[in-house]
Each structure stands twice: as structure tokens, then as C-alpha cells.
Structure 1
């Protein structure tokens, strides 16, 4: 075995751990093919993706761009994107620029954008409702007043995000 005495010891105390932050100043949007692609993916619409300022990384085989988190809305980066309506079998991942864990994952099939991780958002809402000590009736009343819906399962992805964000702003 080779002599590894030339490798310096690392003092990990000099590199403190920084937990993931949802307060990042930037988000990284990555666009790639879904795991199984039959008739779609990014290649047929690569020119449209380029027009939207995404850059191709041939090593990771991902289109990406960085956006400011100021007034960031998970749907805003795609509102003006012409390629979404043409997309099929594509996955979009939004990450805090400094943390690899996704903030949101979307699939686009036949131009339809669907956010994944529904169960996690429902779990987060349940946690906030418990923190606030809201009864089931209080939650349903708010949903009826705000969205004209009786259940969280009837909310759109955007409405779920809005409801969760609203709950997080409320003091205990």
C-alpha cells in the first residue's frame, strides 16, 4: 500500500456546519429528463429552454439557472416560460443555492406542471395547525373563507403553499 503521509489532517472545527436555509438569496433551478422518457425530454425543446436563460451542463446533463429569492414564488419562474407548454417528461428541481436538498420538485407532462411532495406539505400544515392549536373546525372555516374549499386535499399546489406560508406567519 502506498505511503499516505503527505495527506494533511483536516481540522473540521474550522469548517462549521451550516444547516439548510430557506432564507437563501438565490435558488438554483435544474431542468432535466424524468427517469423514463419515451417521447419527450429536454432535447426537443432545448432552443426554448436556452431562450429562457438556462445553461446546459454536459457533465451533469442538466439545464440550470440561478434566480434571486427576493419575492420568490415557486410558480413565478415558470409563468413567463414558453417552453413549459411544450414540455413532456421533464423534471424541474428547485434548490436553495447553498443546499442540495430540493425546495420543490415538479414534473411536466404534456405541458402540465405538477408539484411533487404533496404528503410533506400536508404534514407541514398539520404541524403548523398543532403549533397554533387550531381545531379542525377553525381550519375548515379558514379554507372555506379563503378558497371556498372544505379540505386541504381540494387545494391546488399554489393554494397549499399559500396556506402553509400564512400559517407560518401567525404567532403561537
Structure 2
């Protein structure tokens, strides 16, 4: 969990509860400051953590290895919008074109998790994932497609309960329109189709 100042979060939560007119001694909110501090430690564990540490050495490819692209679909994540500190929840699809090495598939969700566990905006999150994969793997190309539901849109303001936002970030060979379209088509196929 993040090295957050839980006492300050608890104090701020008590102030917030008082500011909205809530009683701190009411049974339902009595332990809310502690629960919020614990939740924020989880939500923001990626602050200050280097996502590159999760990519490691990788698995070298040799001339007999084939495959132009690696795609991992439907990586579930949750993040907190930096504008309202409300969650946005969705999936990231990550594709990369390896040069000399690949990594264990479980490492990509770890990168997504670290970068999502910060105050974030979806557009930056996709760019950061693409940059981390490109840098950490020296890949020939990277494509990141994120589809997420933002509670700042679904639960407040315009209250568009069914709306989602899709963003795309690409690097290298997967920035080429033809290769990007092919990767997006493969992402869209989903499992079993």
C-alpha cells in the first residue's frame, strides 16, 4: 500500500463530513475516516512507484520465434479522476510489437495497475502505459486502447449512466494507420469470436 499520511487523511475526512453537515458520532460514519484512509492507501498505491520495475529482463526471442504482435485484452483497472477524486473503471487493451524480447503476460496488468493507482486522467493513463511498454521493452510499436466509465459523468453532472470513454495511444510501428487498424480489429474480436 502507498506510503500515505493516514492521520492527515482521517483528519481531512472528519472535516469533510462536518462540512457537509454530518455528525461524527453517528454509528454509520463513526469509522469512516479510518476506512477512507485505508481506501486511499489502496487507490493511490502507484504514487511514486516506478512501473518499469514490473517489466524486468523479459524472455529473449530467437530467429525461430514468430509473431508480429502480442495483445493482452480486457485488463481490468480502476483509477481516480484527478479533477473530482471520483473513480473511473474500465479495461485496457495493450498490444506491442516485440523486437528482441517479450515479457510474461502478468507483467502488463501490473504496469496498468501502478499507473492507474494515481490521481489520473484517462488520456494520460493510456499515454503513460504506452510509454512504459515502449521504453521498458524497447518494442517496435505499442498500442493502448482504454474503455472506461467515469463516475464524474455517470453519477453527477450530466448523469450519463451508460456512457464510456475510449482513448487510444500508439507508438512506433503501431502508429501506422494500417497496423493500428489491424491491432484494433484483433482487440475488438474478443475471446471466442
TM range (shorter): under 0.3
TM-score (norm 2): 0.24
Larger radius of gyration: 1
